[in-house]
Amino acid sequence: MKVRFAPSPTGWLHVGNARPALANWLEARKRGGTFVLRLDDTDTERSKPEYAQGIEEDLRWLGLDWDEFFRQSDRLERYQAAAERLKKAGLLYPCFESEEELNFKREQRRKQGRAPIYDRGALKMTAEQLERALANGKQPYYRFKLNTRTVTWRDGVLGERNVKLPSLSDPVLIRADGSFLYTFTSVVDDLETGITHIIRGEDHVTNTGIQIDIIEALSGRPNRIYFAHMPLLTDAEGGQLSKRLGSISLRQFRRDGIEPAAITGYLSALGTSRDPVPAAPRDLVADWDITRVSHSPARFDTKQLLALNRKYLHALTFDQVRDRLPEGADEPFWLAIRGNLDLLSEARDWFDVASGDITVPEQPEESGLLRAALEALPPGPWDETTWPAWTAAVSAATGRKGKPLFLPLRRALTGEEHGPDLKSFLPLIGRDRVRTRLERSVA
């Protein structure tokens, strides 16, 4: 087995990219295969070095590695050689129609009740007409002459699939400026690098029918590559996720503090009957089975992802997060706050609460309770017995119990209405900060 993940470095990776990347990696590792990272960077205007670097960084962050790597921009001569073979076979032909002319032709066909596909008008050009067009300085673009058949394959996820080639326009493989399109370069690379399985999104199904035709034209071998198409992701309401991909890039999740194990665990289970479990890719290999993926679109719910992230964070030891916590944070701090975190980035806020100078709300309506708390403030040193003993003394002095007792105190000490268990968090704040904050709340 040899698989590939082939992103274009024209933007940041998002969860829609990460899902097939993870699926390919898991297939390769499960079956002792080779995983190739290929950058499809022939679009020189949109491809950027920072995106190329970002792709590698984001994949490594997820826990994915690769056995081989190359860029399409380093293989232009191979595409040119393959194009010459197709030209000699009469399967790659020059066209000169402008976009305006093509639009006119499509509109005419619609009025005639016919499919608005390319009419192969360029194939009717005589040798003299072709020479005249070239002599007049026109630059041709090249289309691939599709077979007049229905391409059929057994898809690894979707089952039997058919694409009727006569219902499609002959695809443009080479632009007028001589640059190659993905439909063509991908086939050349897949054949020449020995790719055996292609796992990608369902939006490529029609493209697969075209590429199978090109594969057979270049290799002379049917069924050379095995295809599997994963249904696309939707949002939690079933809408198109693509409209929101900018807000769910891997880079943004990383900045927000989402753990990569939460993402990989969630994506590996999406569209299957399995309950997602946060886990690094290496820990997902044993249970991976692409045949479990449903034919239906899978819903990507950020609430479920956050729940997984919480579950993962709450089980992490101090040693596992030590290098990502604020400087000065120790194990007691981590143990006190981890059960209250949705995102690791929130640890910074709680570190400020524990050791910084924060703004707490004034609570003049609670002045009696807060003054009683000041008067009952126990001497140091403080430990986990301090909070229950202190609140018991305040309760005895004021008659307050439950929420009317604890909530005003929590607001005064942390500035928040919810947070870590104060039995373990209070000693981290310390007696001096507690006194200062109580005095400010009374003011």
Binding site residue list for ATP: 243
Structure tokens at 273: 């009957």
Q: In terms of C-beta density within 10 A (0-12 exposed, 13-18 middle, 19 or more buried), how is residue 409 classed?
A: buried
Distance CA 301, CA 217 (A): 42
According to DSSP, the residues that pair with 155 across neighbouring strands are 159
Binding-site annotation, residues:
243
Taking every pair of C-alpha atoms in the chain, what is the biggest distance, in angstroms?
A: 106
CB 365 within 8 A of CB 443: no
* In 250-379, alpha helices (H): 250-256, 260-269, 302-314, 318-321, 331-337, 346-355, 367-375
- Check whether the bond before 381 is cis (ω within 30° of 0): yes
Per the listing, tokens 């703004």 go with: 359
Give SS3 for 218: helix
Q: Which of 440, 326, 319 is nearest to 373 (CA)?
A: 440
The one-letter code for the residue type at 277 is V
Residue type, 332: P
